[in-house]
Chain A
Amino acid sequence: EAQVTQNPRYLITVTGKKLTVTCSQNMNHEYMSWYRQDPGLGLRQIYYSMNVEVTDKGDVPEGYKVSRKEKRNFPLILESPSPNQTSLYFCASNIRGRTDTQYFGPGTRLTVL
């Protein structure tokens, strides 16, 4: 079954404690991205990756890092989380240039105290 998986699904942490949210896809998609969803703001892109070892900033990259060492994985790293990063996070993947092939993960709800 084609899917994007994210872990963990729910996380409560404290300010400054480094965390990683994993994302994995099984469709051999080149393009992967991270979005955050906040009430009244919709979804905004944090980072994206066109292919292995190619990453770039989206619209709201501050406070986040990513890496793309393998095609299937695209982890989101918060080196020093702050309360304003409390949000719902979605990972997505698609064939490069083909958003009609885009799959979203189930979401990770992060609370930073």
Chain B
Amino acid sequence: GEDVEQSLFLSVREGDSSVINCTYTDSSSTYLYWYKQEPGAGLQLLTYIFSNMDMKQDQRLTVLLNKKDKHLSLRIADTQTGDSAIYFCAESIWDTGKLIFGQGTTLQVKP
């Protein structure tokens, strides 16, 4: 069945790079997403990658997709305290509006 897995917690120092990893199972995924949720807030779409791409870069964010291994990662360069949040990866199921979410990775940025 459809499943998306993430590690639950990551701690980094301010200025370092953060890498949040995600694995998924459905090979028919069309888009893969990264969402950010700050404490007490809703979901903010950070970036997404189409399943036929390997990499996408957007300012401090780099998304890498290894379709063979069904592995997705989000790299945040020069991590700031404002990046502290929960990060969700999600895959979309072909021809539906359904998103399958991972458990969320809490990113803690220490000054």
Chains A and B come from one and the same complex: yes
- How many angstroms from the CA of A43 to the CA of B87 in the assembled complex? 12
Chain A residue at smallest Cβ distance from B91: A99
The reply on B19 being an interface residue by CB < 8 A is no
Q: Are B42 and A42 in contact (CB under 8 A)?
A: no
Q: Are B97 and A42 in contact (CB under 8 A)?
A: no
Contacts of B4 in A (CB 8 A): 42
The reply on B95 being an interface residue by CB < 8 A is yes
Q: Are B42 and A104 in contact (CB under 8 A)?
A: yes
B contact residues, total (Cβ < 8 Å) = 23
- How many angstroms from the CA of A84 to the CA of B69 in the assembled complex? 36
Q: Are A45 and B103 in contact (CB under 8 A)?
A: no
Q: Are B97 and A40 in contact (CB under 8 A)?
A: no
- How many angstroms from the CA of A38 to the CA of B35 in the assembled complex? 16
Q: Which of A43, A90, A97 contacts B97 (CB 8 A)?
A: A97
Q: Which of B30, B96, B101 contacts A43 (CB 8 A)?
A: B101
Contacts of B103 in A (CB 8 A): 40-42
The reply on A61 being an interface residue by CB < 8 A is no
Q: Are A99 and B31 in contact (CB under 8 A)?
A: yes
Contacts of A102 in B (CB 8 A): 45, 97, 99
Contacts of B30 in A (CB 8 A): 99
C-beta contact mask, A47-68 vs B, less than 8 Å → 1, else 0?
Answer: 0101000000010000000000
Q: Which of B48, B88, B96 neighbours the largest number of chain A CB atoms within 10 Å of its CB? A: B96
Chain A residue at smallest Cβ distance from B1: A59
Q: Are A96 and B102 in contact (CB under 8 A)?
A: no
Q: Which of A32, A40, A98, A106 contacts B42 (CB 8 A)?
A: A106
- How many angstroms from the CA of A90 to the CA of B41 in the assembled complex? 11
Q: Which of A31, A41, A48, A100 neighbours the largest number of chain B CB atoms within 10 Å of its CB? A: A100
Chain B residue at smallest Cβ distance from A38: B103
Chain B residue at smallest Cβ distance from A33: B97
Q: Are A94 and B101 in contact (CB under 8 A)?
A: no
Contacts of B90 in A (CB 8 A): 43
Q: Please give the residue numbers on chain A whose beta carbons come within 8 Å of chain B beta carbons, in ascending order.
A: 31-33, 35, 40-45, 48, 50, 58, 90, 92, 94, 96-100, 102, 104-107
